[in-house]
Chain A
Amino acid sequence: MAYIMLAPVLVLLSVFVLWPAIQAVYLSFFDWSFYTSSQFVAWKNYANVLGDDRFWQAILRGLEFVLMTVPVSLVLSFLIASLAVSVSQKVSTLLKISIYIPSVISGVIASITFVMIYDYSGGILNALINIVGLPNQAWLGDPRWALGAIALPAVWLGLGISTLIMIAALLDVPQSFYEAAELEGASWWQRTRYITLPQIKNVLLFLLVTGFVGSIQQYELPLVMTAGGPQHATELPNLFIFNHFRQDTYVGYSIAAALLLFVVLGSISSIIFRIVNSEKLVD
């Protein structure tokens, strides 16, 4: 009886998640393609990945991208959440809806929209910087700007969820703390520094780690907007792996690279799990 109810989920998870995960580990030790018989090569694929400058450059670029997106997202969502909990119910709802709407938009549509915003001769961004006297920039065509130009829609798409989680956290802080602080004459900064931030520490940590994991795995935006160019300036780790997979008929290298990335992300995920677990949110 229980098994019949579980069967669809267990079968599908086994075939499309667990089996591919196991196969990934297996294939990473082989030279394998759709067209040839497989050959055991031990750690060769891993050695190739670890010895490949492009892999390391992609990882570094991923970290740079994290630095461009995560701190900005955390600060913005904290400020927006602070505003949302200090205004009337209706305004707060309006803020929540507006900030969350971008989160339901697909990466492709966001990409199309932002590519037009960045358009060299007719986009709004160049029109804006022209007002303050700066010359047009090729935002997506110039390696200096391209990664930042992808970070912007990434922040825009992701801000909604982190803000809503932050709002929930702020509402959990006991109101009496603030009343006491107000009696003592504490300023906004003092209340934030000594009450709010320590009280929402766990949520901040959670958002930091999920933000890191989500951000370093981003590849849909650069895939659509720039395909990784110009001069690999937007080739984030997963896009590097994905592009490699589509070009190389031997999949071992790509899979080994994905697994190496997974080792890093997996250890971070287990940290999250421990935090969430300690908060008694699981069971």
Chain B
Amino acid sequence: MAIAPTIPAIEPAAETQIPARRHHRRLTPARAAALVLKFVAGAIIVGLALFPLAWMVISGFKLRTEVVRTPFQFFPDVWEVQNYVQILSDPSFVRTLAITGLGAVIFTTGSILINSMAAYAFARLEFVGKRIVWPLVLMTMFIPGMTILLTSFIVVTKLYMLDTLAVLILPGLASAGHVFFVRQFYLNIPSSLEEAARVDGCGRWGVYFRVFLPLSKAPFVVVGIGSFMAYWNSFVWPVLTITNPDLFQVQQYLANFRGERSSELGLLIAGSALAAAPIIILFLIFQRQIIANIKMAGLK
């Protein structure tokens, strides 16, 4: 429900902002036609990209019998909040959101901390074995998930980690991609800053905590959002490792809901909209940093 206001808020902007990037040039008919064409194309792209989400949120406001009905209708006859109210008063759904959120927060914090520490060590410290360890860490980026998904499951089973919060958090916590990304950022921090801090009596930890951490907001936003998203959206791993309903993760909950209560589509679609909301809100808050870093992150 929380995302409902954001979508209409974005769309009208398209109509008002399009004209006149090159207003210093004469508006010939050809140029006007190109402008109209761009406007139409832009509106179609924005519309198609957001349509499935808009439809999901709006469908959540329909009566339960209306969600999928013949003939098709985009808007509800009467806007009802009952689906949203009812799913939010379902203790199992709220508990699932809470436990997933808790795990995601721990996962995100831990991921930022340990990956940035390693990034600092690889960027700034000399130690025996660095030339062997660094390529080895990079190599783990290129091992496709499925190959180790199966044996990771065997490993966590043998470690008696099934049905614990640890099995959800620990296996994905260290990420070579994140270490690499933060390291690139640290390599660009002038070493004079570091030397100044050393002269002032900072040890290595002091340099890391007092100089590097405060400068790291930008890469931490990217790593943090990436980690939060990876945890919140993960589905297959919880399905393999969690059987206790008290620990169900939100994606797992939704997939089970669809399987077990398939007649309650209104609740399912409202629950899905609510489960998508935190991620979309986080993205909208930090979109500037995320979009600015996508090139680096993409080419990691």
Q: List residues of A whose CB falls within 8 A of some B CB.
A: 1-3, 5-6, 8-13, 15-21, 23-24, 27, 34, 79-80, 83, 86-88, 90-91, 93-102, 104-110, 112-114, 116-117, 119, 121-124, 126-127, 153, 156, 159, 161, 164-165, 168, 206, 213, 217, 219-220, 223-224, 238, 241-242, 245, 251, 254-255, 258-259, 261-262, 265-266, 269-270, 273, 276, 279, 281, 283
In the complex, are the beta carbons of A165 and B295 less than 8 A apart?
A: yes
- Residues of the A chain whose Cβ atoms lie less than 8 Å from the Cβ of B269: 112-113, 116
In the complex, are the beta carbons of A220 and B283 less than 8 A apart?
A: no
Closest chain A residue to B297, Cβ basis: A161
- Residues of the A chain whose Cβ atoms lie less than 8 Å from the Cβ of B298: 161, 164-165
Which of chain B's residues 250-275 have a Cβ closer than 8 Å to chain A?
A: 251, 254-255, 258, 265, 268-269, 272, 275
**Binding stretch for chain A, among B89-97, B101-109, B111-119, B216-224:** B111-119
Partner of B21, one of A10, A88, A106: A88
- Residues of the A chain whose Cβ atoms lie less than 8 Å from the Cβ of B21: 86-88
Partner of A224, one of B20, B49, B229, B235: B235
**How far is B295's CA from A96's CA once the two chains are assembled, in angstroms?**
13
**How far is B258's CA from A83's CA once the two chains are assembled, in angstroms?**
39
Q: How many residues of B contact A (CB 8 A)?
A: 91
In the assembled complex, the CB of A218 is this many whole angstroms from the nearest CB of chain B, namely: 11
- Residues of the B chain whose Cβ atoms lie less than 8 Å from the Cβ of A11: 174
**How far is B143's CA from A123's CA once the two chains are assembled, in angstroms?**
39
Closest chain A residue to B159, Cβ basis: A15
Which of chain B's residues 110-160 have a Cβ closer than 8 Å to chain A?
A: 114-115, 117-118, 120-122, 125-127, 133, 136-137, 140, 142-152, 154-155, 157
In the assembled complex, the CB of A274 is this many whole angstroms from the nearest CB of chain B, namely: 12
Q: A116-B269, A127-B72, A219-B236 are in contact. List 14 more A-B contacts (CB 8 A).
A: A1-B204, A2-B121, A5-B121, A8-B174, A17-B140, A94-B10, A98-B50, A101-B283, A106-B235, A220-B236, A251-B154, A254-B150, A255-B147, A258-B150
Name A's interface SS. helix
Known contacts A87-B18, A161-B294; A261/B146 CB under 8 A = yes
Q: Say whether B247 faces chain A, with CB atoms less than 8 Å apart.
A: no
Closest chain B residue to A210, Cβ basis: B298
- Residues of the A chain whose Cβ atoms lie less than 8 Å from the Cβ of B56: 109, 112-113, 116
In the complex, are the beta carbons of A106 and B251 less than 8 A apart?
A: yes
Most buried by A among B147, B155, B232, B298: B147
**How far is B174's CA from A95's CA once the two chains are assembled, in angstroms?**
33
27 A-B residue pairings within 8 Å (CB atoms)? A6-B117, A6-B118, A12-B174, A15-B155, A16-B152, A16-B172, A18-B140, A19-B155, A20-B151, A86-B21, A88-B20, A97-B291, A99-B45, A101-B49, A101-B280, A104-B280, A107-B233, A109-B254, A113-B272, A114-B52, A119-B68, A121-B68, A165-B295, A168-B294, A224-B235, A242-B146, A262-B147
Closest chain B residue to A124, Cβ basis: B72
Known contacts A21-B148, A165-B299, A265-B144; A156/B68 CB under 8 A = no
Q: Say whether B245 faces chain A, with CB atoms less than 8 Å apart.
A: no
- Residues of the A chain whose Cβ atoms lie less than 8 Å from the Cβ of B276: 105-106, 109
In the assembled complex, the CB of B20 is this many whole angstroms from the nearest CB of chain A, namely: 8
- Residues of the B chain whose Cβ atoms lie less than 8 Å from the Cβ of A5: 117-118, 120-121, 125, 208
- Residues of the B chain whose Cβ atoms lie less than 8 Å from the Cβ of A91: 14, 17-18, 42
In the assembled complex, the CB of B67 is this many whole angstroms from the nearest CB of chain A, namely: 7
In the complex, are the beta carbons of B272 and A259 less than 8 A apart?
A: no
Closest chain B residue to A126, Cβ basis: B72
In the complex, are the beta carbons of A21 and B151 less than 8 A apart?
A: yes
- Residues of the A chain whose Cβ atoms lie less than 8 Å from the Cβ of B173: 8, 12
In the complex, are the beta carbons of A10 and B295 less than 8 A apart?
A: no
Closest 8 CB pairs of A and B: A127-B72, A122-B68, A106-B233, A12-B174, A20-B151, A168-B295, A2-B127, A9-B118
**How far is B118's CA from A80's CA once the two chains are assembled, in angstroms?**
38
- Residues of the B chain whose Cβ atoms lie less than 8 Å from the Cβ of A213: 144
- Residues of the A chain whose Cβ atoms lie less than 8 Å from the Cβ of B18: 87-88, 91
**How far is B154's CA from A224's CA once the two chains are assembled, in angstroms?**
23
Which of chain B's residues 223-242 have a Cβ closer than 8 Å to chain A?
A: 229, 232-233, 235-236
- Residues of the B chain whose Cβ atoms lie less than 8 Å from the Cβ of A122: 67-70, 72
Known contacts A2-B121, A94-B13, A94-B14; A116/B72 CB under 8 A = no
